[in-house]
Amino acid sequence: MAKRKTNEAGSSTGLRTDVLRALGVLKAATADQIQRLSSPHLTYRHTTKKTAAVRKEARTASHRGALNDLRRHGLSVDGGRTRGREEVRLLTKDGLAAAGVELDRGPEEMGGMPKSAGRSGASHAMTVNEAVIAMIRPKPDLDLVAGEPAEAIAAAQAVVEAPNGIGTITSYATEVALPATGTWKNPGVGCAWADIVLTAPEAGLPLLFIEADNCTEEAPIIAAKFDK
């Protein structure tokens, strides 16, 4: 009998760690979002391939492999597809615990899983993810873009020279209960939840709660959440 490979998709330990850290914060994400957050230089590779779909497949291949290896270890699962037909990946209970180790966070600091993630397109989870990525503004390592076409290098250079974002992936948490009753681990029924919590004292933001909305609720309902 052939010896079973531990990581059949060939992912490295570092790459699996990056995926765990990203999913530990975002909870439900696509390989594209994880790649843009963890390895932004890959966004500027494979630019000579003919179509956007082929380029995306090439630049996310390593992270998809890492996700597949984590799935074989029982740390992640498929979570349906977005409305754009991209596969969503989720952490299992064991995966959330493993991500907590990589993020140096206890179970009560990890936050919850997004409600109905993947079953109805995960539109809210995707909005939360894009908000986190937009605030971090991940910058590519230009050394890892060397040898690419001039226009790709120029695009990467423009991102590097743009204003910095706020914090890193470890500055963020999502789906965090704000228990007026109960405890952090077991919040009371009906307590408020923060879509995103940012802790970035180095940027003058010691604590910021962020509500991400898909414009499916009236403004007074959204405003009431802050009062709550």
Residue 196 dihedral angles phi and psi, to the nearest 5°:
-140, 135
Tens digits of pLDDT across the chain (228 residues): 344 467 877 789 999 999 999 999 999 999 999 999 999 999 999 999 989 999 999 999 999 999 999 999 999 998 888 888 889 999 999 999 999 999 999 887 877 666 555 556 678 889 999 999 999 999 999 999 999 999 999 999 999 999 999 999 999 999 888 877 777 667 777 777 888 999 999 999 999 999 888 777 788 887 777 776
Model pLDDT, residue 124: 85
Domain boundaries, given as residue ranges, for the chain? 13-166
DSSP conformation letters of 150-197: HHHHHHHHHHHHSPP-S--GGGEEEEEEE-SSB-SSSBPTT-EEEEEE
**Which residues have CB under 8 Å from 144's CB, separation 6+?**
41
